[in-house]
Chain A
C-alpha cells in the first residue's frame, strides 16, 4: 500500500510538535514542581539562619556560605590558568602537534565524570597532601574540573575578536602582550565571563566531587582548612537520608534559582559577545 506522502507529512508534523512540547513540558514541570513545593518554606530566615537537628529545623546559612566560597575560590584558581591557556593556544602559537596534545588533554579532562574527580581529590588532596576534608581540597578539585569549560569558552571568545583590532594595535608598535591585555582581553571579556559564570554554576550544582573532598560538616566554614557542605551536598543528604521533605524542597528551590540566575547571566553575556562581533 502506498501511503500518501502529504498525509504522512501532516502526521509527522503533529507527532514532532507533540514530542517537542512533551520534552519541554517535562523540563518545565520539573522546575515548576520545585518552585511550588519549595516556595512556602523559603524565607529570608531560612537562608540566613543555622540548621538545627541535622537540618530538620532552621536554615541553610552555612551551606550558602560554603557554596559561595567554593564557587568563588574555584574560579579564582581556574580562571588565570584557563584564560592563560586560551591566550597561549590562540595568540602565541600556531597549530602544531603540541597544541593538538594540549587540546586532547583539555577534552579528556572535560570527559572525566565527576565521581572520578571525587576519587582523585580524595586520594590526592585529602589524604596524600594531608589537606583533610576542607574547603581547600574541594576548591582545588573543582578548579581542575571546571578548567576545560573556561579554556573552551575563552578560546572561542578570543577567536571571535576581529583580526584588524590586532593589526591596528601592532601597527601602533604595541608588543604582543600589550595587544593581548589592552585590546584582545577587553574585547573578549563578555565571552570569558560566560565561561566563568558557567563554571560557577557547575561548582554550585556539583555533588559527587565535592562531598568527598570538602566533606559534609554542617558548621560554618571560617577558614579554607575547614570542612563544609555546599547547598547541593546539603540537599542530597536531606533527600537521601529522608531528614526533611520541606527543607529538601526549600534547599532545592534556592539551589535551582541560583543556578538559573547564574546561567541566565552567562547567556546574556554570550549574546552581548555575539551581538558585538557579528
Chain B
C-alpha cells in the first residue's frame, strides 16, 4: 500500500466511524430533548401527582395521567389476548403442517400485510367494528373492546412472522426424535417444538406489545379518548400515545410540557418492554 492509499484508508475509516456513531448521537439527542421538556414538570408538580394523578386538566394545572397509563396497559393486554393465540396458531400451522408451496406463498403475504399503514386499520375499525359493538353490545362503540380488536389484528402479522421464524429454527432432529418414539404430531408440537421455541415466541409477543403500546393514530380513531379509567370492556378510554397526539398541535407552556412528561412515561414503559425482550432473546442465544 503506498502512502496516499494509506492516508485515504484512514480518512475512510474515520468517516465511517462517525457515521456509525450517528445512531448513538440521534438516540442521545432524542432522549435529551424529550427529557429536558418532560422532566421539569415532574419536579414542579411531583412525580406522584402526574403518574398517579387521576385528573387531566392541563390548563388548570392538573396533570394526572394515571387513567391513561392504565388504559394503555389494558388495550395492550387486550391486543395480546386477541392477537397472540391466533398469530401463534397461524405460525404453528405454517411451520408444522403447511406444505412447502403454502409456506412460500403465505409467509411473504403476511409480511406484506405487516406494511399496511396503521391508520387503515383504525379507519376500518371505525367503519365496521365500532358500529357492530354499538348496535349489539351497547355503549358508544368506541371502547376497550374495539381498540383491542383493532390493535390485535394490527399486530397479527408481526407476531406470526417472528414466531414462525423461531419455530422454524427448532432443529428437525427434535421432531424426528419425538416422532420416532411414537408420539403423535400434536404431542411432538406441544411437548417438544413449542417449548424449544418458547423464548422466540415470547419475544414475538413482547414485540407485538411494543407495537400496540406505541400505536397512536389507529387508537385515537377507535378509542373514544375519554379521560376516565375504563371500568368495563365497553367504556371509552385514552392512551398515553393518543393523549400526546390529540393535544400537541395547540398546547403551550406547562400543557405542552405535560405532553412531553407523558412521552417520558411512555418511553420508560417501552424501554421496560425492550429490556424484557432482549433478556429473553439473550437467554435463547445462551441456550
User: Which A residues form the contact surface with B (CB < 8 A)?
Assistant: 5-6, 8-9, 12-13, 15-17, 19-20, 22-24, 26-27, 30-31, 33-34, 80-81, 84-85, 87-89, 92, 101-102, 105-109, 111-120, 122-124, 128, 144, 147-148, 151, 175-177, 198, 201, 204-208, 211-212, 232, 235-236, 239-240, 245, 248, 252, 255-256, 259-260, 262-264, 267
Query: A211 to chain B: which residues have CB within 8 Å?
Result: 245
A235 touches B123 (CB 8 A): yes
Nearest residue (CB) in A for B93 is A20
B266 touches A116 (CB 8 A): yes
Output the least CB separation between B280 and chain A (Å). Answer: 14
Output the least CB separation between B208 and chain A (Å). Answer: 13
A5 touches B186 (CB 8 A): yes
Output the least CB separation between B38 and chain A (Å). Answer: 9
Query: B37 to chain A: which residues have CB within 8 Å?
Result: 123
Query: How many angstroms between the C-alpha atoms of A232 and B15 in the bound complex?
Result: 36
Q: List the one stretch of B25-33, B48-56, B58-66, B132-140 in contact with chain A.
A: B25-33
A232 touches B92 (CB 8 A): no
B21 sits at the interface (CB 8 A): yes
Nearest residue (CB) in B for A205 is B117
B221 touches A115 (CB 8 A): no
A119 touches B248 (CB 8 A): yes
Output the least CB separation between B51 and chain A (Å). Answer: 18
Q: List the one stretch of B83-91, B169-177, B230-238 in contact with chain A.
A: B83-91
Output the least CB separation between B270 and chain A (Å). Answer: 6
Known: A12-B186, A175-B8. A116 touches B30 (CB 8 A): yes
Output the least CB separation between B225 and chain A (Å). Answer: 11
Output the least CB separation between A64 and chain B (Å). Answer: 15
Known: A239-B119, A252-B123. A88 touches B156 (CB 8 A): no
Query: How many angstroms between the C-alpha atoms of A105 and B22 in the bound complex?
Result: 9
B86 touches A31 (CB 8 A): no
A-B pairs with lowest CB-CB distance, top 7 = A113-B214, A84-B19, A205-B117, A19-B89, A20-B93, A88-B16, A105-B24
Query: A6 to chain B: which residues have CB within 8 Å?
Result: 184
User: Which B residues form the contact surface with A (CB < 8 A)?
Assistant: 1, 5, 8-9, 12-13, 15-17, 19-24, 26-27, 29-30, 33-34, 37, 85-87, 89-90, 92-94, 97-98, 106, 108-113, 115-124, 126-128, 153, 156-157, 160, 184-187, 189, 210, 213-217, 220-221, 241, 244-245, 248-249, 259-260, 263, 266-267, 270-271, 273-274, 278
Output the least CB separation between B53 and chain A (Å). Answer: 20
Query: A30 to chain B: which residues have CB within 8 Å?
Result: 113, 116, 120-121, 124, 153
B123 touches A111 (CB 8 A): no
A13 touches B260 (CB 8 A): no
Output the least CB separation between A80 and chain B (Å). Answer: 7
Query: How many angstroms between the C-alpha atoms of A208 and B242 in the bound complex?
Result: 10
Query: B215 to chain A: which residues have CB within 8 Å?
Result: 113
Partner of B24, one of A16, A101, A111, A114: A101
Query: B86 to chain A: which residues have CB within 8 Å?
Result: 19, 22-23
A9 touches B186 (CB 8 A): yes
Known: A24-B109, A112-B270. A263 touches B115 (CB 8 A): yes
B115 touches A260 (CB 8 A): yes
Partner of A26, one of B19, B89, B156: B156
Output the least CB separation between B27 and chain A (Å). Answer: 5
Query: How many angstroms between the C-alpha atoms of A211 and B186 in the bound complex?
Result: 49
A106 touches B17 (CB 8 A): no
A208 touches B111 (CB 8 A): no
Query: A113 to chain B: which residues have CB within 8 Å?
Result: 210, 213-216, 241, 266, 270
Given contacts A205-B116, A212-B249, 4 further A-B contacts (CB under 8 A): A13-B97, A81-B19, A208-B216, A256-B120
Query: How many angstroms between the C-alpha atoms of A240 and B246 in the bound complex?
Result: 12
Partner of B20, one of A33, A85, A252, A263: A85
B248 touches A27 (CB 8 A): no
Query: How many angstroms between the C-alpha atoms of A119 and B270 in the bound complex?
Result: 15
Known: A81-B22, A239-B119. A33 touches B113 (CB 8 A): no
B123 touches A23 (CB 8 A): no
